[in-house]
């Protein structure tokens, strides 16, 4: 590796995955992820436990990324990190580490917006969407429709006004007695269930916005009433319940996506974020894309949930235009796209 190569180490610590990746000249060499299982029994991420786990895992994860890339720290051109949005304590671990390394090595620091990075995960491998495209970003903390005009030029055209869709998956899963994160478990049980077995509400918000808080309350009262009649109601109907909840959530996502694509007259459509790993959503989108003649882009599973490869990709584009941060940079829990 010569001095002309752009070698960036990227770290991600916004929520409950500690991750590091190395990218050389725009090509991601690795993506090391340490998933925190400590939150499973709490039904959600416990912020203090997440920060402690990041603190414990970050250095080993970075060392593995550096060594498996076959480079040494003095070959780094820059260090990138997630500035936000995310949990303050979790972000602080990554930001502090990145600042210290940049200062020690005298290399530029690159801050990355986590939501922008989820979308740029589409540029890690081929096929890559051409501009403009609409990306539906669906994660545990966000649900956004984004018009992507260029790698670093994106506009939010619609978003949730309350809970994120991942949160709706996780919270309804908790009501069903499933462990956190419940999204993948709902996905798995839904495969054996009938999506029409039960009807849950499809909330319609104005314009391109979403609301996912209603379904949680609807499921709560529905289960309360059914459990009064039959205490084994959940166990006996778990697959149908999961399939029906998932069906409503997917319908809500697709209604606004169709509207967004029609309004902005694009042909290229992408999804990103943790919930884009959902097999029901992938299948429904595949059918819709065929029907509507869209070019559909779905990232590899590895790049759907939180990872540093996507942070590295975003950092590469920022490096090319010299967009660096100062050593005074601080995390932004509510960073806007």
Q: Which of 305, 312, 319, 325 binds ligand KG4 (CB under 6 A)?
A: 305
User: Nearest 10 degrees: CA dihedral of 156, 261, 272, 199?
Assistant: 100
User: Is residue 331 near ligand KG4 by the rule CB under 6 A?
Assistant: no
Which residue is associated with the tokens 């069906």?
Answer: 247
Residues 6+ apart with CB under 8 A from 256: 145, 158, 205, 208, 209, 210
How far is it, in rounded angstroms, from Cα 15 to Cα 45? 8
Q: Taking CB under 5 A as the criterion, which residues in 278-317 touch Zn ion?
A: 306
CA 237 to chain centre: 30
Q: How far is the CB of 297 from ligand KG4 (least distance, A)?
A: 16
User: Is residue 20 near ligand KG4 by the rule CB under 6 A?
Assistant: no
**By C-alpha distance, which of 3, 102, 37, 30 is closest to 311?**
30
Q: Which stretch binds ligand KG4 (CB under 6 A): 25-33, 105-113, 183-191, 235-243?
A: 183-191
Q: How far is the CB of 137 from Zn ion (least distance, A)?
A: 8
Q: Taking CB under 6 A as the criterion, which residues in 139-158 touch ligand KG4?
A: 139-141
**Identity of the residue, 21 or 102, whose beta carbon is nearer to Zn ion in the bound complex:** 21
Q: How far is the CB of 269 from Zn ion (least distance, A)?
A: 19
**Identity of the residue, 163 or 306, whose beta carbon is nearer to Zn ion in the bound complex:** 306
**What are residue 325's DSSP bridge partners?**
109
How far is it, in rounded angstroms, from Cα 111 to Cα 327? 11
111, 121 contact by CB (below 8 A): no
Tokens of 82: 């997630």
Q: Taking CB under 6 A as the criterion, which residues in 50-79 touch ligand KG4?
A: none
**Identity of the residue, 77 or 90, whose beta carbon is nearer to ligand KG4 in the bound complex:** 90
Q: How far is the CB of 141 from Zn ion (least distance, A)?
A: 7
Which residue is associated with the tokens 């808080």?
Answer: 213
Beta strands in the chain (DSSP E): 7-12, 17-24, 27-28, 32-35, 78-84, 109-113, 133-138, 143-150, 153-159, 268-272, 295-297
User: Is residue 170 near ligand KG4 by the rule CB under 6 A?
Assistant: yes
Q: Taking CB under 5 A as the criterion, which residues in 122-161 touch Zn ion?
A: 139
Q: How far is the CB of 273 from ligand KG4 (least distance, A)?
A: 4
Q: Which stretch binds ligand KG4 (CB under 6 A): 36-44, 60-68, 138-146, 196-204?
A: 138-146
User: Is residue 133 near ligand KG4 by the rule CB under 6 A?
Assistant: no
Q: Which stretch binds ligand KG4 (CB under 6 A): 92-100, 124-132, 164-172, 227-235?
A: 164-172
Contacting positions for Zn ion (CB under 5 A): 139, 306
């Amino acid at each position: 590796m010569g001095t002309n190569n752009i070698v960036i180490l990227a770290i991600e610590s916004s929520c409950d995955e500690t991750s590091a990746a190395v990218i050389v000249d725009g090509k991601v060499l690795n993506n090391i992820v340490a998933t925190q299982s400590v939150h499973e029994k709490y039904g959600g991420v416990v912020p203090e436990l997440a920060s402690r786990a990041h603190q414990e895992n970050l250095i080993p994860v970075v060392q593995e990324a550096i060594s498996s890339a076959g480079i040494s720290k003095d070959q780094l051109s820059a260090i990138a990190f997630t500035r936000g949005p995310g949990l303050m304590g979790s972000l602080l671990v990554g930001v502090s580490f990145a600042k210290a390394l940049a200062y020690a090595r005298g290399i530029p620091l690159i801050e990355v917006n986590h939501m922008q990075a989820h979308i740029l995960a589409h540029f890690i491998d081929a096929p890559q969407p051409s501009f403009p495209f609409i990306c539906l970003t669906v994660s545990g903390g966000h649900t956004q429709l984004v018009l992507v005009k260029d790698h670093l030029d994106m506009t939010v055209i619609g978003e949730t006004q309350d809970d994120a869709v991942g949160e709706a998956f996780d919270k309804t899963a908790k009501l069903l007695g499933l462990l956190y994160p419940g999204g993948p478990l709902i996905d798995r049980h839904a495969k054996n269930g009938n999506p029409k077995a039960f009807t849950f509400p499809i909330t319609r918000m104005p314009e391109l916005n979403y609301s996912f808080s209603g379904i949680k309350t609807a499921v709560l009262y529905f289960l309360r009433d059914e459990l009064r009649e039959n205490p084994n109601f959940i166990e006996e109907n778990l697959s149908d319940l999961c399939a029906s909840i998932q069906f409503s959530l997917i319908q809500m996502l697709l209604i606004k996506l169709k509207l967004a694509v029609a309004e902005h007259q694009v042909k290229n459509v992408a999804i990103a974020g943790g919930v884009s790993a959902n097999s029901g959503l992938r299948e429904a989108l595949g059918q819709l894309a065929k029907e509507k003649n869209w070019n559909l882009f779905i990232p590899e599973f590895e790049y759907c949930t939180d990872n540093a490869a996507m942070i590295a990709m975003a950092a590469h584009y920022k490096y090319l235009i010299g967009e660096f941060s100062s050593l005074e940079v601080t995390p932004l829990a509510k960073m806007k796209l």
